[in-house]
Structure 1
Amino acid sequence: MRIAVTGSIATDHLTVFPGRFADQLIPGQLDHVSLSFLVDSLDVRRGGVAANIAFGLGGLGLAPLLVGAVGADFAEYEVWLKENGVDTGAVHVSDERQTARFMCTTDRESNQIASFYTGAMAEAREIDLTGLPVPAAGLDLVLVAPNDPEAMLRHTRQCRELGIPFAADPSQQLARLTGPQVRELVDGARWLFTNEYEAALLRERTGWTREEVCSRVGAWITTLGEHGVLVERAGEPPLTVPAVTGVPVADPTGVGDAFRAGFLAATGWGLSLTTAARLGCVLATLALATVGSQTYVVDPARLLALVAKSYGAEAAEPLAAELGGPS
């Protein structure tokens, strides 16, 4: 299966605050917030939603096509992605702007406060899917992940025009998008990805009920953190897959991206939604246990062992052939 992953490509600047954000917020004063946090560490990592997902797919052997905009400072990052199985032939390089920056502080309860500098990502709207190095007819799925809003809309429209199945992952950009824009991005998607908060925000933005959202997509996948994953489809009972337990928490950044990579890989292999959600959860735990979004290692034997340990030996059987394990 050939997947094009459109969206942000960025450098992550990750810091850790040893306290709780909630302890610094004064009731009745939230309209006059002026806070500064003394952090204990700084990690500069490769990131961006599209690049994170492509990294995970590359590790699973799917050779994804990364589609996004970067600055001239991307050269070293590009080498890294290529070494990890990502096709960067469709990445647009800006002559004027630097690669986007994600700046995030995480407290001791894994709450996060973040800012995102757009940089070269603003030029992603110039990318035409008909001009990719891979013919549109050769793409099995296009993932429309957080990006310049106009780029997200353009790519979604082109998928409809070209008849290419697409997945909608508006996530962090929901706060910037209008109701009509969100409805346009979601309607007709094969897969819709959100977390629990984003699911509520998506319903508020669109004005659609949960049932109406499900009627417009193939399946709505909502990650629930430690409570696992909820998969909803029109006319079908909800499917809940529990999360992997007992995982050391190093850094939550990029965990949802790793889940998406695992889920998309498994569905691309033609496996069930349950199996896809399980692989996504296991891949997410690898990301959760490392600092940075692209520092985990995709080891097929370890993945199969984690699936078997978490969900039972029979759960690993459908994945064994694809991951190179014993059948």
Structure 2
Amino acid sequence: MSTPSTSPDLVVVGDASIDHYVQVPHLATSDNKAIGRYLGAFGGGMSANLAAAAATQGARTRLVTKVGTDREGPSELQALSDLGVDVTYSVQDATHRTWMCFVQLDSTGEKALIGADTGIKIPQRDEIDPSALHGARIVAPLADDLDWAARIAQSAVDGGAQVAIDLEPDAFGPDDPQLHQLLSLTEYVFLNTASAQKFHPHSHARAAAALHELGPGTVVVGRGEQGAYCSLADGSTVTAHAPAGVPVVDTTGAGDALAGSFLAGVLQGRSPEACLRTAVANATACITRVGSRTYLTEPAPAPSTTEPLTIERTLR
């Protein structure tokens, strides 16, 4: 595995999972079943996916996670290390299985995901070596547990780092005081359309404005096949339009690819336009394969369209 990085650009604290995929004719609903074909197990987890995306874009990246000592856990850490992620501060637990998910995948690339919490989804606060965050310029805690994430964020800010979070729609209420505390410590926040709609039902711009008032200076909304929208606290915005006609195989992990690639660009001093261009390009590549990190290890499929990815910027 990789040796510890003495001065990481980015420290990601959170989950690494094993994702089991089944190709189904339709997504099963309540009191319904779908019989499909098992596609295999792939490395996953929002934090692990984000870390891998950043590392492969050149950011010195450390992941602090927790896995079991079963066959899957060490294998998952090794796969991340092979992608350039420093995993030496991650914790291995001999008493629990590695966190896992079961993914139903239909023919359109849409999914239904069931997480099986084995008791070690994330490392507890007392399991995180304080030196793991030292030197980081950005710290990205998993935001599923808002109180846990806020404590990590406070430690990061106290150490001179900025904070980045990715808000999943099922993990927060827009008026939650714990969310507001976390956002007050956060510089970069990433959302999908469903999360943005919890701040404003019809406008990404107004959702971003509401978030800016709570603290973050940069708000990035992933918009699926439409690309992504980035709002800066100075009032300027950047919109990236993804190319049309890209075959959608699996949308799992696209938001993580977007966030990790964007943060890598920030750490390399690139403009918001350049950051968003690369982020959308990698999120687009992600959805063309089964598995949330397969795009990082397999050759890209032949393009089905010549329409380029385009960028628009508006200034205040």
Q: Normalised by the shorter chain, which TM-score bucket?
A: 0.7 to 0.9
Size of the aligned set, in residue pairs, is: 295
Distance in 2 between the 1:269 and 1:78 partners? 25
> Aligned with 1:250: secondary structure?
coil
Deviations 1:249-293 (A, max 9, x none): 221111111111211111111111111111001111221111111
Give the 3 Å change call, closer, same or farther, for CA 156–231 of structure 1 in structure 2. Answer: same
Q: Is the 8 A contact 2:42 2:291 kept in 1?
A: yes
Q: Is the 8 A contact 1:45 1:293 kept in 2?
A: yes
Match of 2:285 in 1: 286
Which structure has greater helix proportion?
1
Q: How does 1:1-327 map to 2 (within 5 A)?
A: 2-19=9-26, 21=27, 33-73=30-70, 74-122=73-121, 124-127=123-126, 131-133=130-132, 136=134, 138-171=135-168, 174=171, 179-201=176-198, 210-215=208-213, 216-297=215-296, 310-311=308-309
Query: TM-score, length-normalised on structure 2?
Result: 0.82
Q: Is the 8 A contact 2:68 2:92 kept in 1?
A: yes
Match of 1:321 in 2: none
**Unmatched segments (≥5 aa) in structure 1:** 26-32, 316-327
Distance in 2 between the 1:271 and 1:106 partners? 35
Q: Give 1:148 deviation, angstroms.
A: 4.8
Distance in 2 between the 1:239 and 1:86 partners? 29
Q: Give 1:45 deviation, angstroms.
A: 0.6
Runs of 4+ in 1 over 4 A off after TM superposition: 127-130, 146-150, 175-178
Q: Give 1:2 deviation, angstroms.
A: 1.0
Distance in 1 between the 2:174 and 2:115 partners? 15
**1:279 is matched by which residue type in structure 2?**
T
**2:277 is matched by which residue type in structure 1?**
R
Q: Give 1:36 deviation, angstroms.
A: 1.4
Give the 3 Å change call, closer, same or farther, for CA 233–61 of structure 1 in structure 2. Answer: closer
**1:140 is matched by which residue type in structure 2?**
R
**What is the Cα-based RMSD across aligned positions, in Å?**
3.1
Give the 3 Å change call, closer, same or farther, for CA 57–34 of structure 1 in structure 2. Answer: same
**Unmatched segments (≥5 aa) in structure 2:** 1-7
Deviations 1:24-83 (A, max 9, x none): 77xxxxxxx322111233321111111111112222232310011111121122221111
Q: Give 1:298 deviation, angstroms.
A: 6.5
Give the 3 Å change call, closer, same or farther, for CA 95–172 of structure 1 in structure 2. Answer: farther
> Aligned with 2:244: secondary structure?
coil
**1:239 is matched by which residue type in structure 2?**
V
Which structure has greater strand proportion?
2
